[in-house]
Amino acid sequence: MIEATETRFISIPYGKSSLDLKLQGSWHSFILEGKDIDPVSDLDAAVQQALENPTGAPRIAEAVCRTDQVVIVINDITRPVPSGILVQKIAQELEKAGVPDQQVKILLATGTHRPNNQEEIKNMLGPDLLKRFQVSNHDCRDEANLVYLGVTPGGTRVVVNRLYAEADYRILTGLIAPHHAAGFSGGRKSVIPGLAGLELLKRHHSLDGRIFNPAMGCLEGNPFHLEAVAAARIAGAEFILNVVPNSRGQVVAVVAGELEEAHMAGVRVAETMSRCRLPFLADIVITGAGGYPRDINLYQAQKAISAAEMVIRDNGTIILVAECAHGFGEGVFVDWLVEAKSPQEVIERFRREGFSPGASKAFFFARAAARCRLIVVTTNLPGDLLSQMFMEKATTLEEALTMAEKPIGCNHIVAVIPRAVQIIPEAAGECGERVCYFNDRETP
């Protein structure tokens, strides 16, 4: 964390470019950024080393049989994962074991997201891998390609992608970073929600299966995380290969091996970079998702608001910086917000009806809007529709700051989180006590 005591400029990622913010020396402002860890000097070599020295599991080349049907799970286009390099290195391990290409399938863990098209998949994997292996998108609504496998101790019926469930050897790839509901992404999230059926997702993402408030960085006692692990155990996962990015999206570590052990090794690295503490709750939080692809649409960019919620004062103002080049990104969450008369009405509807694609996202926006003012800095979303969704539009940061406070006084605390999805923000309360939304804060 940096306390800005004099006028300075800071860049906030916006799509594939950035917006400059002038922090006045008269403001009581803080910049929340992750610890600066240098990226690996050679990503190919780092991935290879991780595969050759896995944590808690044998090396792929030693564990897989040449007759095995193998599924490699990758993230979809919304996650900045170097999938091409990861799959290429995994393919080399499979070659060593004598597994023919026709026995290897690549499966996109889309969750409830739309399927990725051929051009998007080509951009992620490259043309050579696309020619070598069969690639398909998971569809959570396609009952014919889902299979029931059992029930978790928490009562969740585990229904996942059939191709994945019926494979002999399953490899999960992904990234490990702070996550607003799961604590951290990566590991088990490739299966749940990535490859889950819609009914499983409805249960897992409802308020019965999650903490009401943001849970970034929280794993212990987190039902969202624990149920995902239990379900992934039932579905099976022989090996994971995850990268850990810094706040600028550069890979600083690669972990490989057993589902939980390797994931926790990555979590420890992510934690050292991510935790930032404010001495006070902020009056204004300026938050960015981290640029493309994390702000590709409002649906994805919302995660930056969850981070801001953890350090905003009640009745404060959150300013979201998000290009949203692809618009809102999903229609249901827009409908839920527009149809409601108040944020609390959305929250109560979500309590009654539970999860559906887009409904949980509407709940996240409503949760924030019920506590504070929301301003979105973008040129790609219509202001009239945003206003119906309990948000306001600004086309520049300067306009947003003018809207937030005229003027921002020297007693106002302003927090800036340029890359919020990579940060675990924490704040002290009025009397200096740590505010822990995960455990302590009452739900509405």
Q: Which of 272, 299, 324 finishes a domain?
A: 272
Taking the C-alpha atoms of residue 336 and residue 341, their distance in angstroms, rounded to an integer, is 10
Regarding whether 396 and 322 lie in a shared domain, the answer is yes
Q: Which residues of 245-283 are buried (b: 16+ CB within 10 A; e: fewer)?
A: bbbbbebbbbbbbbbbebbbbbbebbbebbbbebebbbb
Taking the C-alpha atoms of residue 395 and residue 324, their distance in angstroms, rounded to an integer, is 12
Residue 441 pLDDT: 37
Taking the C-alpha atoms of residue 344 and residue 362, their distance in angstroms, rounded to an integer, is 11
Regarding whether 70 and 144 lie in a shared domain, the answer is yes
DSSP-assigned letters across all residues of 243-306:
EEE-TTS-EEEEEEESHHHHHHHHHHHHHHHHEEEESS-EEEEEEE--STTTTSSHHHHHHHHH
Taking the C-alpha atoms of residue 84 and residue 104, their distance in angstroms, rounded to an integer, is 15
Residue pair 333/339 in contact (Cβ under 8 Å)? The answer is no
Residue 3 pLDDT: 59
Domain membership of residue 291 (yes or no) is yes
CATH number of the domain enclosing 265: 3.40.50.11440
Residue 357 pLDDT: 72
Residue 211 pLDDT: 74
Domain membership of residue 10 (yes or no) is yes
Residue pair 414/23 in contact (Cβ under 8 Å)? The answer is yes
Regarding whether 136 and 21 lie in a shared domain, the answer is no
Domain residues for 343? Answer: 2-31+279-435
Regarding whether 257 and 108 lie in a shared domain, the answer is yes
Regarding whether 177 and 93 lie in a shared domain, the answer is yes
Domain membership of residue 36 (yes or no) is no
User: Does the annotation mark 225 as catalytic?
Assistant: no
CATH number of the domain enclosing 410: 3.90.226.30
Residue pair 262/242 in contact (Cβ under 8 Å)? The answer is yes
Q: Is 239 helix (H, G, I), strand (E, B) or coil?
A: strand
Taking the C-alpha atoms of residue 64 and residue 20, their distance in angstroms, rounded to an integer, is 51
Regarding whether 112 and 172 lie in a shared domain, the answer is yes
Residue 8 pLDDT: 77
Q: Which of 28, 113, 204, 205 is catalytic?
A: 113
Let me know how many helices (H) and strands (E) the chain has, helices first. Answer: 15, 22
Taking the C-alpha atoms of residue 425 and residue 304, their distance in angstroms, rounded to an integer, is 11
Ranges of the chain whose pLDDT falls below 70: 1-6, 26, 209, 406-410, 429-444
Q: Which of 251, 272, 293 finishes a domain?
A: 272
User: Does the annotation mark 113 as catalytic?
Assistant: yes
Regarding whether 24 and 9 lie in a shared domain, the answer is yes
Domain membership of residue 38 (yes or no) is no
Domain membership of residue 80 (yes or no) is yes
Q: Which of 207, 241, 272 finishes a domain?
A: 272
Q: Which amino acid is at 377?
A: V
Q: Which of 28, 138, 179, 205 is catalytic?
A: 179
Domain count, the chain: 2
Residue pair 289/303 in contact (Cβ under 8 Å)? The answer is yes
Regarding whether 219 and 349 lie in a shared domain, the answer is no
Domain membership of residue 442 (yes or no) is no
Regarding whether 83 and 21 lie in a shared domain, the answer is no
Taking the C-alpha atoms of residue 423 and residue 303, their distance in angstroms, rounded to an integer, is 11
Residue 5 pLDDT: 55
